[in-house]
Copies of this chain bind each other. A is one copy, B any other.
């Protein structure tokens, strides 16, 4: 699988990647760690340098980078991909990229500006595609965006999403008959597109070719599971320790099954249909 970007004539992507590489070499500490681990040394030392079928999943060749593309868009939610991004960047031998329909800066939920992003059309293929969710899915449901993620998904080894990103993948037609997660308030909208809604925090199908996380923060758990499957348990544990993922929520309100009824009622009031997993998102009919 290639790791090259098709030249769009701007030189922008190359300079972006070059900058990123220089950062890795310059920053030391975490980043030096990334550079060391990224040079093909597998954590744990037990993974031989050839494809290995473990737990139903073919692990990456130790000498080949795992190419990851986050397909982001205007109206998306930062934390949906900031969690996975933080995990994937720290794994050994990954190449993480951010791409959007038009490239450049995207304006996320709450006006947050993100990127430089590459253009989706300039990415020939990827090993793993991740589509995050958003509060306005207008661009994520645009036919050109759907065409691009369908194209990348068709040749990808792993098709993944967090939160309502699964609705975009489903609308693109790549989740037909597949089990998928989604934010709890929207999960049953998946059925409109022939996907099978599952209310778990992490869901997989087809021996891990399809992997998805629930709402927003579930992206961190999702990414650690993906890390364990594709880079080995010890790589995932190492990353978990570096990002100090030892969660201690001060309240018990992270899911409808545990939230106080009055808090759930407040969400239902502003997102009618949420308690049935059928709340409406702008951009989805």
Contacts and interface: CB of A to CB of B under 8 A. Distances in A.
A232 to B, nearest CB: 11
Contacts of A217: 83, 86, 220, 243-247
Contact of A263 (B218, B225, B238): B238
A194 to B, nearest CB: 24
Contact of A111 (B19, B86, B237, B255): B19
A228 B190 CA distance: 33
Interface residues of A, number: 91
A20 interface: yes
A280 B29 contact: yes
Contacts of A263: 234, 237-238, 241
Interface in A93-118: 96, 98, 105, 107, 109-116
A254 B250 contact: no
Contact of A267 (B183, B216, B242, B281): B242
A240 B254 contact: yes
Interface in A190-231: 201-202, 214-218, 220-221, 224-225, 228
A59 B26 CA distance: 44
Residue of A98, A237, A241 ringed by the most chain B CB atoms within 10 A? A241
6 contacts: A23-B109, A26-B136, A34-B110, A89-B109, A245-B254, A247-B247
